[in-house]
Structure 1
Amino acid sequence: MEDFLVLLKQLWIVWFFVLFVGVVVWVYWPTRREGLEQQATIPLRDDDPPPAARSKG
């Protein structure tokens, strides 16, 4: 039983490493570049003023 637990620990580490690499590849895939660049500028965009502030002039 202890041998089985040691094997499971090793497979668990391998599984998370493969998952991590998969997520990194998915994020940096070239076809996702345009969408990621648009999302990267969201914090820098100016918000429209609220409707009440626009009418006060």
Structure 2
Amino acid sequence: MNEQKLKDLAAEFAKGIKTEDDLNQFTRLLTKLTVETALNAELTEHLGHEKNAR
């Protein structure tokens, strides 16, 4: 993903953040999604195929 696309996405998400709680909720969700994606990629690499694929 290129830097401009990331900046555009960040600006779009920032429009919905109005309170500290909104920011905390967004940060938790982003962290969760990032960790899950990384772990799934690691599992795929380890197994040599996608999850549930044979």
**TM score, norm. by length of structure 1:** 0.48
RMSD of aligned residue pairs (Cα, Å): 2.4
Q: In structure 2, what residue type is equivalent to 1:37? A: H
Structure 2 stretches of 5 or more lacking a match?
1-17
RCO higher in structure (CA 8 A, sep ≥6)? 2
Question: What do the CA deviations read for 1:3-49 (whole angstroms, capped 9, x no partner)?
Answer: xx8101111001100000000001001xx2354628302xxxxxxxx
**1:22 maps to what in 2?**
35
Q: For residues 13 and 28 of structure 1, what CA distance do their matches in structure 2 show?
A: 22
**TM score, norm. by length of structure 2:** 0.51
The count of corresponding residues between Structure 1 and Structure 2 is: 35
Q: For residues 8 and 36 of structure 1, what CA distance do their matches in structure 2 show?
A: 40
Q: For residues 10 and 34 of structure 1, what CA distance do their matches in structure 2 show?
A: 34
Structure with larger Rg = 1
Q: Is 1:37 matched up with 2:49?
A: yes
Deviant stretches of 4+, over 4 Å = none
Give aligned-pair identity as a percent. 3
Higher relative helix content: 1
